[in-house]
Structure formats: C-alpha cells, structure tokens
C-alpha cells in the first residue's frame, strides 16, 4: 500500500513539528512547510530524509510565496497527492487593535484566515474525488472567548466555524475536516511576539499531548477537538455565562487584574 501523505504548515516548531513527528511515526510521508529552511531540513533529516519528507519553504503571509503550497496541493504532478492537510501556521501580534500597524494586522489575517481558507479550498476537491482525506485546522480556545488585543481570537473563531461547517457539508464523502482548539501550549509562539507565559502552570499543555489528543479525535470523526478537561470546561462556561460576565472576566484577565 502507498503511504498516505500529510502536508503540515508551520512545521518548523511547536505543534507543527509534533504533528510531523507523530504522523511520520504512524506511516505518513510528510510535506513540511515553513519559512525557516534550515529548521525544515533538520526536521526532514530527523524523519528519515528525502524519501520520507519533502520541504517547501514559503512565507504564508505573502500571497506569491503561498502559491508554492497551493500548487503542491492542487497539482502534485509526479508527487503523491496530499491525503491530510494540517493548517497549523499561526501569526500572533501583541498590543491593542487600534495601536497595531495596519500591515501587521493584514499579515496576521493572511496567515490565520486567508491561508486556511485558500489551502483548504484547494485541497478538498482532490480529496473528494479520491473518496478519502482530511483537513485539521489548528484554531484556539481564544476563538470562543471575547478579549482585548488584536485580531487573533477573531481569526480563530472564523477557523473553528469554517471547520464545523465543512465537517457537516462533507458527510458521506470520505473526507473529514476538524478544528483543533487548544489553550496554552508550551511552544515558541508567545515568545515570538514578546509575551511571557501567563496564568497558572497547570494551564499549560505539552505539544505532544495536544497533537496526540487531536489525532485521536480526528480518527473518531469529531468536528472540534478541545484538549484537556480544563479547556473543555472553560468553553462550556463561556457559552453558558451571561455575555456581560464573560466580557468582564476577559477585560480583567487581559489587564492583569484577574
């Protein structure tokens, strides 16, 4: 049997690297996407070299650079088609919306929203034609909660809803879409835009646990995966609590008073 192929964006660190490692361990061939070629090459070597991992260097905030990934998904040529797309790449910004440079906000939107839309749209027709495949869109618990800051939570709310809608529409096609919505995860993400880890230690999850739970939920056909009982409880509470209370807690937490 031909090995399935998974394309993982943001594969050079954190959750993306863990997806690549765990998928390789169960027999997937990988297409690794990120901006940092040196890290991608090192990961490809770790996974077994060119026979096991393909490297695509792309800046997903740049539409022209992103075309490399879109073409790999739509027109594999003599390469194996992608059976599983993991839209993991993320873009975080610090500071309030009105204080953040417009170009930075636009780049955030390109990575967190537009890239997910475009890559998912490009990947799905071939999967449907073949009668199997799937997409895991890495979203966030932040998409369920109002908060201050820039556009991160708003973008993740879109990703979660898009994934849920597609999961319903694609029933019976052999293709499944799922949103992965973790909370705090021990990666480089916060450090990259100048934020220290906040909150209690028990709220921070290891990336390997997040990915392991996500793959288990995907195999069960769940439209949304929220790792850990803590974050499941937070999401349920946010849905049931009066909106004014949710907004008040979000304001206190963001200002450091809660």
**Catalytic residue check, 158:** no
Please, where are the H alpha helices in 26-100? Answer: 37-46, 63-74
Only one residue has tokens 């807690």, namely: 249
Look up residue 81 and give its DSSP letter: P
Distance between CA atoms of 85 and 19, rounded to whole angstroms?
11
Residue 162 near residue 117, CB atoms below 8 Å: yes
Task: Select from 180, 96, 97, 98 the least CA-distant residue to 137.
Answer: 180
Q: Which of 91, 152, 158, 231 is catalytic?
A: 152
3-state secondary structure of 180: strand
CA atoms within 13 A on the CB side of 112: 24
CA atoms within 13 A on the CB side of 175: 23
- Active-site residues, by number, are 152
């Amino acid at each position: 049997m031909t090995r399935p192929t998974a394309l993982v964006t943001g594969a050079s660190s954190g959750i993306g690297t863990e997806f690549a490692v765990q998928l390789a361990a169960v027999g997937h061939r990988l297409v690794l996407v990120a901006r940092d070629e040196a890290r991608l090459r090192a990961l490809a070597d770790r996974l077994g070299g060119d026979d096991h991992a393909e490297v695509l260097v792309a800046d997903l905030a740049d539409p022209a650079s992103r075309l490399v990934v879109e073409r790999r998904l739509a027109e594999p040529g003599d390469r194996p088609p992608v059976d599983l797309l993991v839209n993991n790449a993320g873009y975080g910004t610090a500071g309030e919306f009105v204080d953040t440079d417009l170009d930075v906000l636009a780049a955030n939107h390109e990575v967190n929203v537009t890239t997910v839309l475009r890559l998912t749209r490009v990947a799905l027709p071939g999967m449907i034609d073949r009668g199997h495949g799937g997409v895991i869109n890495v979203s966030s618990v932040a998409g369920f909660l109002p908060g201050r800051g820039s556009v991160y939570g708003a973008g993740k709310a879109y990703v979660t809803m898009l994934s849920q809608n597609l999961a319903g529409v694609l029933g019976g096609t052999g293709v499944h879409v799922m949103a992965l919505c973790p909370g705090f995860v021990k990666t480089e993400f916060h450090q990259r835009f100048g934020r220290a880890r906040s909150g209690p230690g028990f709220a921070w999850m290891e990336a390997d646990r997040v990915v392991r739970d996500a793959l288990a939920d995907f195999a069960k056909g769940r439209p949304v995966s929220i790792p850990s009982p803590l974050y499941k409880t937070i999401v349920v509470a946010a849905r049931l609590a009066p909106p004014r209370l949710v907004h008040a807690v979000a304001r206190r937490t963001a200002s450091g008073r809660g």
